[in-house]
Amino acid sequence: MDISCKKCSAKYRIDDSKIPAQGAKVKCPKCGEIAVIKKEAEKPVPESLPQNAPDKNIRGQASVGGINRGADAPPKNPLVLFESQIKNIQRLIFFPSPQSSPLRGEGKGEGDALSTLKDTFGEMLKSYQSLKKDFSKVEKSKKEMETLVEVGKAVNSVLDMDQLLNLIMDMVIKVVGAERGFLMLKDKETGELIFKVARNMEEELKDKAAFTISSGITSRVAKDGKAILSSDAKSDERFSAQASVMGYNLRSLMCVPLKIKEDVIGTIYVDNRAVAGAFTDETLDLLSSFANQSAIAIENARLYENVAKETKIRSNLQRYLSPNIVNDIMTKKENLVLGGERVECSILFTDICGFTSMSEKLSPETVVQTLNEYFSEMTKIIFENEGTLDKFIGDAIMASFGTPIFNPHSAQNAVKAGICMLKKLEELQKKWESEGRPSFKIRIGINTGDVVAGNIGSPDRMDYTVIGDNVNLASRLESNAKPMTVLISDSTYIKIKDMATVNPREPIMVKGKSKPVQTYEVTDIRIPVEEKAKVQRKFVRRDVSLFATFKIPPATKTNQCIIQNISGGGLLMSTRGSASVGEKILLDFTLPDQSKFDNIEGKIAMARPFKDEHSNAFLKMGIEFTPLSDTDFERLSAFCNAL
């Protein structure tokens, strides 16, 4: 028993065994103060715990010193066990009397106590090793979290796409300790996985067309949206049919999806050709977390690029295209092909009669005011009729209809615009006369035919325009038109003859033509209101945007595509893979309701070539399903009907 003197505060110790039950008087060895002490009562031991158990916290563990702790009891926290075992050793050390130690049963001697001490110390060492292992895991997790934080800061601070993708790939190799790897992004038109960046794969990527490494693995990850880990790919049954795995002697590999919510936008693949077991589940979790952050950064960079690009394009297009055409282009209903291409369109020229002599009689301010009012109204009419303002040429206006987006009704739109221009000018003439300003008359010429349309000019200054013989003819027709009339060519008349009122005129000779040109003066045009044809489909068709994979037997190559609409009878998809009408096709896809369809057989009923915004070719293919199983048909029909 430890005693503290109340007088001098000195501390001294008295053996409990020498204190009688009724208590005793003791003298302070330092100051001689007398104190009365009583023997401490023993603490009760729970009935469920043996009397000689060292500590209740070590129940449920292996036997120590002959004590049975219960094999079925739940394991204790390593920290609790470690603390309990330290207490037990402390008791053994500070109980010098064999008879007084709670760790020694009746009749047990000093040798038994040493044995118990040894066993307890062994258990403590095991607990220490367990704690050390858990601490290492915590430290590793901490480092991984710090790495992810740094990665997040780095990738989210970059908006240039090329710079970002290279940064992501460098960090992937460093973070997971991979030998090599690559990053692929989905093509938005076709769903094809396209190589963007790679590390330590220069030889394999020299011929990208022949490079098929792990296409099946990346396609599976992109389709299912789930990561893949293999500690020994060569002996992994999942990849026994993958020629790339065997051919490139791949050992350890990982592939994770780049996901925005549930939308997979690409994949990250890493491998090690020499070491099996180079990657673990923890490494896969780390790479998956990294990929999630990277996907957000990629999407942000993509949005930034799109906004900057759209702002620039919209600003340029609005100068000479109608708002409807601009919106169609910007929403990708139609693709604007930059550069020159041959198209059919209708060209309109209008010019003010006697403008030079009139302008000489007016002040410059009045001329500018009148022209601006006139040009504003005429431009509005051009846009209302889906035309494109090509340019102002002095007091003349040049417009085209059917460019940059082809319109089969370009001739009737151009003629209608011409008639509306004359009517609007009559209103302006009355207004100007009431204001005391002089008015004027205009002539209009329209021709229809093939032209070269595109951005034409120098690298420093380019404008969208149309050029060619048919453009020159439209200008010649305007010069030969009478004031306040619309003069059209024979090619335009053929397209509107059933809806226009015209007066044939004598053929005229124009510059650049060896034969006379037949012309017509249009007095009115009535465009019929067409009702959209109603088509009754056999199956309900639903618009979607689904990533899918397919094969063209007997080839085993896995191709990617985007399904654009689907029904119980077939689907429409876009792909950069090659296929021909009549060929058999096997498709794998998952619907938004998570219904999975594997090896769905069909026949290619249609394959048409298209070009994307970068003029890269792709195919739109119509697939007719070979009769589906009743279960697949019911699942697919239920999805299509759930609109």
Q: Measured in whole angstroms, how far is the alpha carbon of residue 90 from the centre of its chain?
A: 62
Model confidence band, residue 311 (pLDDT cutoffs 50, 70, 90): confident
Q: DSSP letters of 434-480?
A: HTT-----EEEEEEEEEEEEEEEEETTEEEEEEESHHHHHHHHHHHH
Cβ atoms < 10 Å from Cβ of 520: 21
Encoded amino acid at 400, one letter: S
Q: What is the pLDDT of residue 282?
A: 84
Domain ranges in the chain are: 1-39, 156-306, 337-525, 542-641
The whole-number average pLDDT for the span 289-317 is 82
CA atoms within 13 A on the CB side of 228: 25
Q: What is the pLDDT of residue 520?
A: 95
596-611 vs 559-566, strand pairing mode:
unpaired
Q: What is the pLDDT of residue 130?
A: 75
Q: What is the pLDDT of residue 587?
A: 94
Does the fold of domain 542-641 match that of domain 337-525?
A: no
Mean pLDDT, the chain, integer:
78
Q: What is the pLDDT of residue 39?
A: 65
DSSP H/E element including 121: helix 110-155
Q: What is the pLDDT of residue 285?
A: 87
> Considering the entire predicted model, what is its pTM?
0.50
Residue 600 has pLDDT above 90, yes or no: yes
Model confidence band, residue 220 (pLDDT cutoffs 50, 70, 90): confident
The whole-number average pLDDT for the span 180-189 is 88
Q: DSSP letters of 136-168?
A: HHHHHHHHHHHHHHHHHHHHTT---HHHHHHHH
Report the Cα–Cα distance between both ends of the chain, in Å, rounded.
Answer: 84
CB neighbour list of residue 56: distance below 8 Å, 6 or more residues apart:
46, 49
Residue 375 has pLDDT above 70, yes or no: yes
The whole-number average pLDDT for the span 83-92 is 66
DSSP H/E element including 609: strand 596-611
* Top-confidence residue, 520 or 43: 520
* Top-confidence residue, 93 or 178: 178
Quick one: CATH architecture of 337-525? 2-Layer Sandwich (3.30)
Ranges 30-44, 233-247, 622-636, most confident: 622-636
Encoded amino acid at 136, one letter: S
* Residue pLDDT, tens place only, 269-288: 988 877 777 788 888 888 88
Q: What is the pLDDT of residue 148?
A: 66
219 phi, psi to nearest 5 deg: -65, -40
The whole-number average pLDDT for the span 230-237 is 67
* Top-confidence residue, 176 or 87: 176
* Helices of type H across 269-406: 281-317, 323-330, 355-360, 364-384
Model confidence band, residue 580 (pLDDT cutoffs 50, 70, 90): confident
Q: What is the pLDDT of residue 188?
A: 81
- Cα separations (Å) of 550 from 47, 357, 606, 611? 71, 71, 16, 21
Q: What is the pLDDT of residue 286?
A: 86
Decide if domain 156-306 falls under CATH 3.40.640.10: no
Encoded amino acid at 55, one letter: D
| Angle, alpha carbons 136-137-142 (nearest 5°) | 95
Q: Which CATH number fits domain 542-641: 3.10.110.10, 3.40.50.300, 2.40.10.220, 3.40.50.1100?
A: 2.40.10.220
* Residue pLDDT, tens place only, 613-636: 676 788 889 999 988 899 999 999
* Residue pLDDT, tens place only, 396-413: 999 999 887 778 889 999
* Residue pLDDT, tens place only, 471-499: 999 999 999 999 999 999 999 999 999 89
Helical pair 110-155 and 281-317, crossing angle rounded to 10 deg: 10
* Top-confidence residue, 469 or 76: 469
